[in-house]
Amino acid sequence: MKSTTLLVFAASVVAFSVPASAQFAKPEDAVKYRKSALFVMQQNFGRVGAMAAGKTPFDAKVAAESAAVADFMAKLPWAAFGEGSDKGETRAKAEIWKEPAKFKEYADKMQLEMSKLSAAAKTGNLDSIKTAVSATAGTCKTCHDAYRKD
Ligand code: ASC
């Protein structure tokens, strides 16, 4: 590998070093972990969403900080959907474990749109934030419709 290629590869490994798979002592811990991550993500996303919808006053600094937290939190839940964590107090549908590639595709799409939202929020442009909030919310809904019991 050329050294520049190697450097880019090494940087991406560092950038994506949030655990892609993780061990949990009990299935309940995995369920709690992913729910907690999604809850913190949603609280931060929802704060930006409320500003985008004009429900709360636009505060560029708060929007940027909240979007950055949501962007980071968006990386965490997926490691906690391991084998055996399909039971207990979860609304996760069994299809998640039958169609892991599709579930991952939806999870990846959400993370991509959330990262665009964070980038938009850093610019402070409310119109860009509105577009990105809408795109991100769409990815939440697509996955919930397919994989969450309601
Ligand atoms: C949210 C939230 C969701 C999505 C979804 C978008 O803030 O909790 O599940 O946006 O409602 O349609």
Task: Point out the ligand 1 atom lying closest to the alpha carbon of residue 144.
Answer: 9
| 88 Ramachandran zone, left/alpha/beta (phi>0; psi -120 to 50) | left
Place of tokens 């990846």: 108
Whole-angstrom Cα distance, residue 73 to residue 116? 14
- The residue contributing the CA closest to ligand 1 atom 7 is 46
Centre of ligand 1 from the C-alpha of residue 145, in Å: 11
pLDDT in tens, 96-145: 999 999 999 999 999 999 999 999 999 999 999 999 999 999 999 999 99
**Pairwise CA distance, residues 103 & 80, whole Å:** 13
What count of other Cβ atoms lies within 10 Å of the Cβ of residue 118?
23
Q: Under CATH, to which class is 2-17+26-147 assigned? A: mainly alpha
Task: Name the average pLDDT for the chain.
Answer: 91
% of residues, the chain, pLDDT over 90: 84
- 92, β-bridge pairs: 148
Q: Which residues pair with 148 in a beta bridge?
A: 92
CA 94 / ligand 1 centre spacing (Å): 21
Q: 77 CB under 6 A from ligand 1?
A: no
For ligand 1, the distance from its centroid to the CA atom of residue 49, given in whole angstroms, is 9
Q: Where are the alpha helices (DSSP H) in 77-125?
A: 95-98, 100-123
Q: Is residue 45 lining ligand 1, measured as CB closer than 6 Å?
A: yes
- Is 8 a residue whose pLDDT tops 70? no
Ligand 1 midpoint to CA 90 (Å): 17
Cα–Cα distances (Å) from 143 to 43, 57, 63, 64, 103, in that order, read: 18, 29, 24, 25, 8
